[in-house]
Amino acid sequence: MAPPRPVSAAEIESLAIGAWILGTGGGGSPYLALLNMRALYRQGARVSLLDPLDLADDDLVAVVSNMGAPLVGQERLTDPRTVARAVEMMEEYIGRRFRAIMTVEIGGGNALQPFMAAALLDRPVVDADAMGRAFPEAQMTSFAIHDLRMYPLTLADVRDNAVIVARAASWKWMERLSRKACVEVGSIASTCKAPRTGKEVKACGILHTTSKAIRLGETVQAARRAHRDPIEAVLEAERGLLLFRGKIRDVARRTTEGFLRGTASLDGLDEFRGRGFELAFQNEFAVGWLDGAPRVTTPDLICVMDTVSGEAIGTETLRYGQRVSVLALPAPPVLLTPKGLEHVGPRAFGYDLDFQTVFA
C-alpha cells in the first residue's frame, strides 16, 4: 500500500479553484477555508492525501461537512478547531480512532473542511467524497444511494455546545434533527457524519474527486498563465461540453423551505446569438433549457463561468449583464443509476423531466 502523498500549498490553492467549479453554483465559496489552510501551512502544518483504494476494509473514515447558512458563514468564519472537534467527538462517542478524514461534498467550501481537520489531527485526507459535486440535501449522496446507515452524527458549535444525533429513522429525520440543532447554535456548525469503513468508502464513495478538483484548478491556473481561454481548457481537460455562451438578461430568486431557488435567463452571444438559455437553480444549477427545450439536467454538472475571466459564478452572485459560458461536465456514474437518479435526478428537485445526459 502506498503511503499518503503530501499535498503542497500550491495544490491547496488549485483545490480551492477546482472545488468552486465543481460546486456548480452552490456549495459556498472556498475562500475562507483557503485562508485557514494558508495560515495552517504557514504555521508548518502539512496534509497528505490518501488513495481510497489504499484503505483497509476495516479502517474507519470520518466524513465531515460544514452545515448552515452561507450568509452566517460570512460573519462566523469557518474555523479548523470546530471541525476537528466534531471529528474528536465522534471518536469519543464510538470509541474508535479514525484512520483518515474525507468530505461529504467536493463542490465548494466543504472540499477544504477535511483538510482543516486533518491539519490539526495529523490524519490524512481521503481522495474521495460522496457527491462528486455539490448538492443541497443530505440524502443526495452516494452513501444514501447505497442505503448506508446515516447515523450517528456529531455537531460542534464554536462555543462549548455539542450535539450527538444517536439515531434517526431516515435521512429526512436526520436532516430535520440536525438542522434544528444547527439553527439553535446560530445556523452554523461543523458536523461529522456517520463514520464509514474503508470497505464502504471503496464501494460506495466517489473516488479520486479531490485530486480531480486539484487538477481542474491547475488547468485553469495554467491557462491563465499562458493567456489561454480557461473555459476551453476546462472543457478539454474534463471532456466537458459547452452548452451556451451569452449574457444574463434576468435573474429571479426566492427562498422556499430554506433553499435559494430561482431562474436566470440568458441571451446568446457569438455562435449562440439569437438563441436563449434558461437556468433553474436550487442552491446549485439544476436544469438548463435551450430555446425552451430541456438541454441539461442534474446530475450532469452544470457550471456557469465568467466568459472572460474563467471564474466560476455562484447562484448567489449571478447578476444582470454578466458574460457567461454554461458548461456541462460528466457526473459520477453512481448518480446516473436508476437509484441514483431517484436521489439526485431532475424529479428529486421537483422537475417533471426525465434525465437524459448530454454526454450520450
Q: Taking CB under 8 A as the rule, does residue 350 contact another protein? A: no
Q: Taking CB under 8 A as the rule, does residue 227 contact another protein? A: no
Q: Rounded to the nearest whole angstrom, what is the least distance from the CB of residue 58 to another protein in the complex?
A: 34
Rounded CA separation 192/190 (Å): 7
List Cα–Cα distances, 20 to 95, 195, 284, 340, in angstroms.
35, 26, 11, 23
Residues 258-317 that bind another protein (CB under 8 A): 258-260, 267, 283, 316-317
User: With CB under 8 A, what is the number of residues at the site for another protein?
Assistant: 38
Q: Rounded to the nearest whole angstrom, what is the least distance from the CB of residue 40 to another protein in the complex?
A: 8
Rounded CA separation 72/75 (Å): 5
Which stretches of 140-240 are DSSP H helices? 142-145, 171-184, 198-204, 209-225, 230-238
* Nearer to another protein among residue 72 and residue 94 (C-beta): 72
* Nearer to another protein among residue 180 and residue 199 (C-beta): 180
Residues 14-53 that bind another protein (CB under 8 A): 32, 35-36, 39
List Cα–Cα distances, 265 to 26, 275, 320, 350, in angstroms.
18, 11, 9, 19
The binding track of 182-201 with respect to another protein, each residue x by CB under 8 A or -, is -x--xx--------------
Query: What residue ranges in the chain does DSSP mark as E strands?
Result: 5-7, 47-50, 60-68, 100-103, 125-126, 128-129, 153-156, 162-165, 188-197, 206-207, 241-256, 259-268, 276-282, 284-290, 293-297, 301-306, 323-329
List Cα–Cα distances, 327 to 24, 163, 237, 296, 304, in angstroms.
10, 40, 13, 10, 6
Question: How many CB atoms neighbour CB 30 within 10 A?
Answer: 27
Q: Taking CB under 8 A as the rule, does residue 10 contact another protein? A: no
* Nearer to another protein among residue 186 and residue 294 (C-beta): 186
Measure CA 84 to chain center. Answer: 19
* Nearer to another protein among residue 141 and residue 283 (C-beta): 283
Site for another protein (CB under 8 A): which residue of 96, 97, 149, 319? Answer: 319
* Nearer to another protein among residue 70 and residue 152 (C-beta): 70
Q: Rounded to the nearest whole angstrom, what is the least distance from the CB of residue 350 to another protein in the complex?
A: 16
Measure CA 323 to chain center. Answer: 24
* Nearer to another protein among residue 97 and residue 253 (C-beta): 253
Cell digits of residue 316: 448567489
* Nearer to another protein among residue 271 and residue 320 (C-beta): 320
Q: Rounded to the nearest whole angstrom, what is the least distance from the CB of residue 37 to another protein in the complex?
A: 10
* Nearer to another protein among residue 84 and residue 334 (C-beta): 84
Site for another protein (CB under 8 A): which residue of 94, 158, 242, 358? Answer: 158
Q: Taking CB under 8 A as the rule, does residue 320 contact another protein? A: yes
Rounded CA separation 302/248 (Å): 16
Residues 56-115 that bind another protein (CB under 8 A): 68-72, 74-81
Length of the chain: 360
**Which residues contribute to the site for another protein (CB under 8 A)?**
32, 35-36, 39, 68-72, 74-81, 158-159, 183, 186-187, 247, 249, 253-255, 258-260, 267, 283, 316-317, 319-321, 323
